[in-house]
Amino acid sequence: MMPTEPELLEDAQNWVSKWPDAVGHTSMLSAFCMADDHWNADCWYVLSDGLADDPMQCLEFIETRIRHQQRTPVIHTVSDTHA
30-50 per-position pLDDT tens digit: 888 888 777 778 888 887 777
Torsion of CA 45, 48, 20, 80, to 10 degrees: -90
Burial (CB count within 10 angstroms: exposed 0-12, middle 13-18, buried 19+), residue 57: middle
pTM: 0.59
pLDDT of residue 16 exceeding 50: yes
pLDDT of residue 1 exceeding 60: no
Torsion of CA 55, 78, 16, 29, to 10 degrees: -30
